[in-house]
Structure 1
Amino acid sequence: MADTQYDQFLNEATAYADTGSVLGRDCLYGVYTSWCFLSQTAPQPERSFWAAMAEKRIRPGRSKLRIKGPAATDYILSSYPGLV
């Protein structure tokens, strides 16, 4: 069975963390849109994204996810342009 776009996103742009802060809604969706941009994939509407995350039992502010990889870098640099 082929991975969905959301499975690929979670695999490539997130990882579970034992410690540290958890991702909120804005950050998780922001990293998703950065991942889509970098993978040249059209992002799905936010409503569809959250429905898919709910199916995967990923709840912002409660799931122990952290961001990683190029999408994380793109998201951080886009969110905080003064860092560049």
Structure 2
Amino acid sequence: MAHSQFAQFLEEATTTDDQADSPLGRDCLYGLYTSWCFLHQRTPRAESSFWAAMKKRHIHPGSNGLRMTGPAAADYIMASYPGVV
């Protein structure tokens, strides 16, 4: 069975932390996805498609227990806060 783009994104760019005080919110999670797509030279799907896929996986903004990890996290942070470096 083919591994979907969204499943691969979740596997490579997120980690779970059920005790997370501030899980990834709506903008942050989609932004992380677009960074992941950029790094993998893939065209991001529309935000509505992304959230439909997340809903199927029972992932909701603000109550998902997800944290960023990996190269996509670094890319997202650098793109979001260019004055950091």
Whether the TM-score (by the shorter chain) exceeds 0.5 is: yes
Aligned mates of 1:48, 1:13 — CA distance in 2: 18
Q: CA deviation at 1:18?
A: 3.3
Give me the whole-angstrom Cα distance separating, in 2, the residues matched to 1:33 and 1:61.
18
Q: Give the TM-score normalised by the residue count of structure 1.
A: 0.97
- Counterpart in the other structure of 2:16: 16
- AA partner of residue 7 (structure 1): A
Q: Post-superposition shift, 1:41?
A: 0.6
Q: How much does 1:2 deviate?
A: 1.2
- Note the residue ranges of structure 2 that are not aligned, 5 or more in a row: none
What is the TM-score of this pair, normalised by structure 2?
0.95
Deviations 1:12-48, CA, capped at 9 Å, x for gaps:
0001013332110000000000000000011000000
Query: Counterpart of 1:49?
Result: 50
For the aligned residue pairs, the C-alpha RMSD in angstroms reads 0.7
Give structure 1 stretches of 5+ with no counterpart. none
- Is the aligned partner of 1:2 residue 2:7? no
Percent identical: 62
Looking at structure 2, the residues matched to 60 and 7 of structure 1 have their Cα atoms a distance apart, in angstroms, of: 16
Query: Where does residue 73 of structure 2 map in the other structure?
Result: 72
Count of aligned positions: 84
List, as ranges, runs of 4+ consecutive aligned residues in structure 1 with deviation greater than 3 Å.
Answer: none
Which whole-Å CA distance do the structure 2 matches of 1:43 and 1:26 have between them?
A: 14
